[in-house]
């Protein structure tokens, strides 16, 4: 499939061109300014359409585009826009059907109210499920947090299934003592399940997403029983249960992070197992891919060996990490949103490199304070490859962390991965 990059600042024209070239078999990447296009040109499109009326103001951007010998530039004129507009009706109807494609689940996690709400409304056509990560459990079995009423109302108005995501997040991290209190004490467990049902039932949710992380390995059986009882309660009331689990390559009793999650048992009871195939490396580790395609596929291969593939979601990260390789201190490392990568490339004057085995992009740069940095991040092709695993292994779909970190090119890459 040929790749085309469309750089147009006018939204209607950009959509028109996108629709036209999708129908004609292109993998379409877009940008509304030259800065956004920086990330896309690293993927070496076969053709670039550039709006003649849209000046690329930043010198660093224009220089990079001129220095890319592989770029084939076509200038968009008003005449081309007019000709395409003549067939706009036919394009629109075909694109809606194409976007629906197959029935894969596309679950987006709603994190911070303002940015997540904006992303939800802007990209709702790409989503069919949302989970609001706005609830925690306490040691007494209370569900604490808030209902983002605008998100719930909007999702229901668009027929997007929306889930309450419940975690065991404590003061500053996931708390194994909280999850232990819930899954090991019969009284606390009953109260938690009762409160979960009330939260879902009284607030317009479609079900629950249990996201208990850092669960003690000794709580493996207790956690499985807890999920079975949650799922039974939800099912009896017509609601669904999603369980988020860490990615792993095998069921290893010596794995302190992943052994608590009995994939087989959880998969028998939950409706969806959301495999968190991200954070392969993070601020707490040395530098490396956020989610290499090799590691991601091996994780999914293990998951489908013990869980029905139709219940499995592959996780996609809409972010990267920036490591300070001078200080090597965890607190000096930071997360970088997908949508902020073009600005980082431009401000550092760097060009992304590709790690072959992980299919992950990375850069190195020196900050103003003299410290050296390494940044690993996803790009449109790596997201497309991971989304394709949903088709390759007949999975339920994909899950995205998190709404508000991405831009439209991220969702377009998912759609392309489903098709190809």
Quote the mean pLDDT of the chain. 88
pLDDT tens per residue, range 314-346: 999 999 999 999 999 999 999 999 999 999 999
Tell whether 332 is covered by a domain.
no
Per the CB < 8 A criterion, the answer to whether 404 and 311 are in contact is: no
Tell whether 227 is covered by a domain.
yes
Percent pLDDT > 70 in the chain is 84
Is beta strand 161-167 parallel, antiparallel or unpaired with respect to 207-211? parallel
Q: Work out the pLDDT band at 34, boundaries 50, 70, 90.
A: low
What CATH number is associated with residue 205? 3.20.20.80
Tell whether 366 is covered by a domain.
no
pLDDT tens per residue, range 346-398: 999 999 999 999 999 999 999 999 999 999 999 999 999 999 999 999 999 99
Whole-angstrom distance, CA of residue 33 vs CA of residue 157: 32
Q: Work out the pLDDT band at 420, boundaries 50, 70, 90.
A: confident
Per the CB < 8 A criterion, the answer to whether 274 and 315 are in contact is: yes
Positive or negative torsion for Cα 89, 92, 96, 99: positive
Res 292 pLDDT > 80? yes
Distances (CA, A) of 81 to 7, 90, 93: 13, 15, 18
The continuous run of DSSP H or E covering 383 comes out as helix 380-392
pLDDT tens per residue, range 200-216: 999 999 999 999 999 99
Per the CB < 8 A criterion, the answer to whether 189 and 180 are in contact is: no
Whether residues 44 and 189 fall in one domain? no
State whether residue 103 is helix, strand or coil. Answer: coil
pLDDT for residue 23: 64
Per the CB < 8 A criterion, the answer to whether 319 and 385 are in contact is: no
pLDDT tens per residue, range 99-129: 344 589 999 999 977 899 999 999 999 999 9
The continuous run of DSSP H or E covering 74 comes out as strand 73-76
Whole-angstrom distance, CA of residue 27 vs CA of residue 188: 51
pLDDT for residue 25: 65
Whether residues 68 and 44 fall in one domain? yes
* pLDDT (average), residues 30-43: 71
State whether residue 258 is helix, strand or coil. Answer: coil
Please classify residue 255 by burial: count the beta carbons closer than 10 Å to its beta carbon, then call 0-12 exposed, 13-18 middle and 19+ buried.
middle
Res 57 pLDDT > 90? no
Whether residues 71 and 199 fall in one domain? no
Tell whether 340 is covered by a domain.
no
Per the CB < 8 A criterion, the answer to whether 312 and 395 are in contact is: yes
What CATH number is associated with residue 53? 3.40.50.2300
pLDDT for residue 5: 82
Domains of the chain: total: 2
H-state helical runs in 42-172: 59-67, 78-85, 88-100, 113-122, 149-157
**Active-site residue list:** 213
**Of the candidates 46, 74, 96, which is a domain's last residue?**
96
Whether residues 108 and 226 fall in one domain? yes
Whether residues 74 and 167 fall in one domain? no
Whether residues 199 and 245 fall in one domain? yes
Per the CB < 8 A criterion, the answer to whether 63 and 370 are in contact is: no
State whether residue 176 is helix, strand or coil. Answer: helix
Tell whether 221 is covered by a domain.
yes
State whether residue 399 is helix, strand or coil. Answer: strand
Whether residues 238 and 262 fall in one domain? yes
Whole-angstrom distance, CA of residue 77 vs CA of residue 90: 22
Whether residues 251 and 165 fall in one domain? yes
CA atoms within 13 A on the CB side of 141: 17
pLDDT for residue 70: 47
State whether residue 198 is helix, strand or coil. Answer: helix
Enclosing domain of residue 392: 102-318+381-419
Residues facing residue 85 across a β-bridge: none
Whole-angstrom distance, CA of residue 97 vs CA of residue 95: 5
Res 41 pLDDT > 80? no
Per the CB < 8 A criterion, the answer to whether 107 and 96 are in contact is: no
Q: Work out the pLDDT band at 74, boundaries 50, 70, 90.
A: low
């Amino acid at each position: 499939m040929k790749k085309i990059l469309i750089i147009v600042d006018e939204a209607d024209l950009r959509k028109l061109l996108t629709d036209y070239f999708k129908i004609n078999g292109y993998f379409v990447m877009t940008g509304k300014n030259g800065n956004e296009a920086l990330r896309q040109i690293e993927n070496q499109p076969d053709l670039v359409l550039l709006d003649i009326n849209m000046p690329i103001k930043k010198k660093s951007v224009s220089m990079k585009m001129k220095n890319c010998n592989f770029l084939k530039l076509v200038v968009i004129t008003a005449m081309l826009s007019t000709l395409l507009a003549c067939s706009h009706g036919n394009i629109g109807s075909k694109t809606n059907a194409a976007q629906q494609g197959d029935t894969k689940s596309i679950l987006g996690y709603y994190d911070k109210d303002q940015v997540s709400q904006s992303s939800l409304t802007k990209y709702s056509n790409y989503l069919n499920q949302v989970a609001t990560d706005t609830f925690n459990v306490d040691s007494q079995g209370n569900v604490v947090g808030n209902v983002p009423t605008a998100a719930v109302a909007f999702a229901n108005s668009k027929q997007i299934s929306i889930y309450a995501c419940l975690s065991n997040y404590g003061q500053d991290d996931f708390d194994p003592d909280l999850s232990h209190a819930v899954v090991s004490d019969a009284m606390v467990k009953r109260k938690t399940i009762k409160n979960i049902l009330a939260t879902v039932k009284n607030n317009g949710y479609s079900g629950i997403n249990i996201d208990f992380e850092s669960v003690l390995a000794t709580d493996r059986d207790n956690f499985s029983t807890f999920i079975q009882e949650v799922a039974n309660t939800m099912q009896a009331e017509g609601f669904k249960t999603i369980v988020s689990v860490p990615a792993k390559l095998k069921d290893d009793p010596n794995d302190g992070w992943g052994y608590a999650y009995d994939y087989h048992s959880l998969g028998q009871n939950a409706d969806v197992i959301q495999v968190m195939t991200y954070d392969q490396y993070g601020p707490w580790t040395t530098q490396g891919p956020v989610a290499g395609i090799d590691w991601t596929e091996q994780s999914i291969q293990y998951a489908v060996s013990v869980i029905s593939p139709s219940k499995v979601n592959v996780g996609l990260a809409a972010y990267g990490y920036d490591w300070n390789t001078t200080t090597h201190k965890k607190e000096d490392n930071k997360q970088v949103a997908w949508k902020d990568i073009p600005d980082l490339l431009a401000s550092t004057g760097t060009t992304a490199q590709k790690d072959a085995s992980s299919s992950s992009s990375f850069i190195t740069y020196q900050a103003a304070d003299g410290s050296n940095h390494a940044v690993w991040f996803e790009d449109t092709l790596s997201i497309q490859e991971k989304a394709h695993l949903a088709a390759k292994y007949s999975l339920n779909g994909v899950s995205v962390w998190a709404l508000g970190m991405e831009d439209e090119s991220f969702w377009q890459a998912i759609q392309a991965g489903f098709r190809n």
